Chains A and B, each alone.
With several copies, the nearest count.
Chain A
Amino acid sequence: QYEPLLSEKDLTRVDIGDGGDGIAPDDAESVDSPLPDDLTRDSLELPELSEPELARHYTRLSQMIYGIDSGPYPLGSCTMKYNPKFTEDVAALPPASVHPDRSERSVQGTLEVMYRLQDYLGRIGGMDAVTLQPPAGAAGEFVGIRVAAAYHEHNGEGHRDEVIIPESAHGTNFASAALGGYDVVSLPSDEDGRVDLEALESALSENTAALMLTNPNTLGLFERDIDEIAEMVHDVGGLLYYDGANLNALLGRARPGDMGFDVMHYNVHKTFATPHGGGGPGAGPVGVVDELAPFLPAPRVREGDQRTKSGEPTYELFEPEHTIGKVHGFHGNWLVLVKAFAYIARLGDEGLADASAKAVLNANYLASRLEYDVPYEPFHHEFVASAGDQDAADVAKRMLDYGVHPPTTKWPEIVPEALMTEPTEVESKDTLDRLAAAFNAVAAEDSETLANAPERTTARRIDQTSAARNPRLSWQALEEDES
């Protein structure tokens, strides 16, 4: 079961140059360099292994990972969908990989994909202009915040220094607003789990730069008062930001742009099925209404005036008039964008709408099968159950023993011992039944069993305290620690 570190299989030191004495030590390779010694390092010590050894190492490591192809992965707000295999093929097409400094003329294909994806996303979100540059959802939030700031500044309202965020929002909202230099005003929920309008009223002021909202919210509830919320925010001159993390609930049913949102980000690995890759890369395109378009990052893609000889449109990069500049060295996570484009082009209107329909049906069906209480409803694509007397984190560990991935736990805090569950549309009824059986089996177990879980996984419960108290973050540190 255990796989040694690469460094435990081999460590070879390569001496660079002759180190001044012309003699290479016995236990190291020596490699000359055309550079003078004072511009080079002395040596490099890393594993030197063959292709067969590496193939086995990484194959073995892969077998110690639970992925979406292993079974259900109902992480609330993370929208872990099946990643269609063919999208990998299109991203692997040789012309998908060109250098970002190429002339626009020579990358018309790349620009066309970007143009079309901007267009698709605009239609889906009800937004007038889209940038594809942000390399992840949080980067998209930051772009939204920076765009809002630039907009207010441009209008002589640079004094606005507050961003209002519901308590139950994703942690990135707070961090992105803070990174943008804003003070965060935290907004409590009302007893139904939605935005408390009175609290919002008192939070809003002439200092309000924006309200960040996700809808459905993290409890899966649609903010039914969204019209009124939008009016309130706009009345004080603020902007309304849509966190796209939960967009998979609404495709073809409602659009942020129609709800009064001014700026939004899309999480392509959530809504458009690009693989999450164990942490990333994602992509967090940002859509805005016309008024904010001049502030988007540069460059964006538009159709050019000319046509090709065969009459096809041409595409060009351009800099929005009041652009905030760059938020990534080049064009963001391009290969991820290609996959998202392919996914949308595959599903089309009906497929996207069907995905949301079944995501919502699945969440409702799964909840109906659970012994755990689900305090807030009517929810959409996700729901938050309460583990009650059990520790939600222990529940999660124990679910691993049943061969399924647990939900997100202990968040949002409005639900005690929260089990935030989002099955997505890709699970069949059979799988949901199996998942529900796992939940219910754990619900019937005692706290000791839960505390000792997991028992059937590659590693047993891992000591987090020790990891943090005595950080060993590299094989070098580990070796030092063990010696």
Chain B
Amino acid sequence: MHGNETHAGSPYAPHTDEDRAAMLEAVDAETVEELFDIPGAVRFDDEFGIDARTERETRRLVRSILGRNDDLTELLGRGHYGYYVPSLVDHLADRSEFLTSYTQYQPEVSQGFLQALFEYQSLLVELTGLEIANCSMYDAATALGEAATLADRVRDATGYRVLVPEADLLREERRSTLENYVAGTDLEVESYPTADGNVDLAALEDAVDEEVVMIYAENPTVRGTIEEHLAAIGDLADANDALFTLGSDPVALSLLERPADVGADVVVGDASVLGLPTSYGMGLGLFATREDYLRQVPGRLVGASEDATDRRAFTLTLQTREQHIRRERATSNICTNQAWVALRTAIHAAALGPTGMVELANRGVRRAETLAERVDDIVGVKAPVHDRHHLREFVARVDQPARAIADDLERRGFAVHVVGEHEIQLCVAGVPDERLDAFAEALEGVVR
């Protein structure tokens, strides 16, 4: 009999008493403990103090704890979006062959996953217009960090400056992660000014010199505005032999200017805007770049090849860039990545198709505009703050303290960002129309 609900031990270890006895005999041991070669001085003879539970009790425990989360309608975005994920994505990605397989080190029995990742890479190639996309990084912030180390490796001239937008147009978390990634290099991260929710192009021009190795900008910006100076930034980077790294995501990329067309050398961002629910910030690092940098790309790449019968087959390739072969000279330390999330993103994108993807982005423009107009009508609210085009979200100025308004809204069931003493930010992605209506009413009630 094995360890089932009623017996102590791991419920997932299938040993019968009989089996265990036979196995111990085979290895010439009386007890399993004999097999542990641990000196007494470092033996652990205490307990963790963690109670075992049945499956059902464990599910109830987690349900009960998570039940403490408030059920709010989230008008939250700022780089992380809660689009509806079709049921198809869950059902297909949850097939255990996808979920429970390892990295495709034996491609002959992993063709299905390799093909799915190859298709994911192809999706990013189309979205960015760049020739190469890897099959995932952790998230947007770490992908940005990897972009900087790539810039450090590939740039012809010397240099040390990495230019990023100042705080109002760059999440602090991304900057902080970037700082950690470049801490072991000579790179230094510096801010450049912004103006009315876009890059301050003139100021950026003044800031750029030959010591710049990378310029980073986002489209749309974290404040929801669409960046209007991309091509100019691309030219500026080009003129100074710096890499232009653009932050975006698959929904935005479906509609907005194609990165390759504005001179982007690297595109990073969170691809899991498609495929994952909000998941408290779990993401999928998008990473695409020019073919020139192929051998310096971080992360895994799936390539097409042929098998012994000359049929097309897929495999991880260019692994000599990776840590398990190149060790301290690898292009990155990444090993486990976000492959399964990439699968989900690929399925979600395929379920939308190009029409659905463009339409989803278009709706993000239209619905944000509609909501902005609606809340702008409320006395004590002005929206949008920036006189620009917006995707999905926008900043609104409120006469009363923003923090108090947000707290009031939360009591009424809505979560919004506070982005300034008198600024809140509102995102429509994934929020049904009727909830937006309810929100506008709630806001009206709050500022009254």
Contacts and interface: CB of A to CB of B under 8 A. Distances in A.
A276 interface: yes
A347 B96 contact: no
A10 B294 CA distance: 28
A478 interface: yes
Interface stretch (A197-205, A234-242, A328-336, A384-392): A328-336
A412 B401 CA distance: 61
Residue among A49, A66, A344 with the most chain B CB within 10 A? A66
Interface in B52-85: 52-55, 58-59, 61-63, 65-72, 74, 76, 78-80, 82
B125 interface: yes
A46 B339 CA distance: 21
A458 interface: yes
Given A112-B65, A276-B103, A326-B177, A227 B42 contact: yes
Contacts of B126: 44-46, 476
Contact of A106 (B20, B70, B314): B70
B109 A405 contact: yes
A335 B149 CA distance: 28
Given A48-B1, A429-B23, A459-B108, A109 B66 contact: yes
Contacts of A82: 12, 100
A328 B338 CA distance: 13
**Which size bracket describes the interface of A in this complex?**
35 or more
Interface in B339-361: 339-341, 343, 347, 349-351, 353-355, 357-359
Residue among B67, B106, B366, B415 with the most chain A CB within 10 A? B106
Contacts of A42: 258
Interface string B175-199: 0110111011100000000000000
Given A39-B256, A69-B100, A400 B109 contact: yes
A439 interface: no
Contacts of B270: 329
Contacts of B63: 90, 93
A463 B354 contact: no
A100 B183 contact: no
Interface stretch (B155-163, B275-283, B372-380, B433-441): B275-283
B177 A325 contact: yes
A380 B19 CA distance: 19
A397 interface: yes
B39 interface: yes
A99 B81 CA distance: 8
Nearest to A59: B96
Contact of A62 (B86, B97, B185): B97
B35 A364 contact: yes
Contact of B100 (A68, A101, A341, A380): A68
Interface residues of B, number: 197
B244 interface: no
A93 B74 CA distance: 17
A59 B261 contact: no
Nearest to A115: B65
B108 A460 contact: yes
A96 B62 CA distance: 9
B221 interface: no
A66 B66 contact: no
B303 to A, nearest CB: 4
Contact of B55 (A48, A86, A99, A124): A86
Contacts of A349: 47-52
Contact of B50 (A5, A102, A342, A348): A348
Interface string B400-422: 00000011001000010100000
Task: Sort A-B residue pairs by CB-CB distance and give the 6 closest, nearest first.
Answer: A330-B281, A181-B184, A277-B340, A348-B52, A279-B339, A100-B281
9 contacts: A50-B2, A63-B97, A70-B97, A180-B183, A329-B283, A336-B282, A460-B308, A472-B303, A473-B132
